[in-house]
């Protein structure tokens, strides 16, 4: 009963456990959401006539070079998204660890 009382009075947080679940769920979901947003942005740009058919630099590259450029950009963006996502959750978890340490000092 004490744990339920602590939970209802916000003395005990469930957030660290929930954060771990949300991190792993988001680590898979962030790249998927980014891909969907990119597809929607490209579709809207085509509808408005804002897309150039072939950029000069892109057209001058061979097909293999285009693949290397796209793959490199994909890997870099994926790493940036995942590192940013991880850092956000590490800051939140650090907050809860600091809170627990300060509560331990107060008793």
pLDDT in 10s for each residue of the chain, 107 residues: 567 777 677 776 777 778 888 888 988 898 888 889 888 988 888 888 776 666 666 677 788 887 888 889 888 988 998 899 999 999 988 888 888 888 788 76
CA distances from residue 90 to 31, 41, 79 in whole angstroms, order as listed: 19, 31, 16
The pTM of the full predicted model, rounded to 2 decimals, is: 0.64
Given a contact cutoff of 8 angstroms between Cβ atoms, the answer to whether 65 and 10 are in contact is no
CA distance 74 to 81: 11
């Amino acid at each position: 009963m004490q744990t339920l009382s602590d939970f209802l009075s916000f003395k005990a947080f469930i957030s660290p456990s929930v954060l771990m679940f949300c991190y792993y769920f988001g680590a898979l979901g962030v790249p998927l959401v980014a891909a969907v947003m990119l597809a929607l942005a490209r579709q809207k740009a085509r509808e408005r006539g804002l897309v150039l058919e072939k950029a000069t630099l892109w057209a001058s590259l061979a097909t293999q070079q285009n693949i290397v450029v796209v793959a490199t950009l994909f890997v870099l963006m994926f790493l940036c998204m995942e590192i940013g996502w991880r850092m956000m959750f590490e800051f939140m978890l650090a907050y809860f660890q600091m809170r627990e340490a300060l509560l331990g000092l107060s008793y």
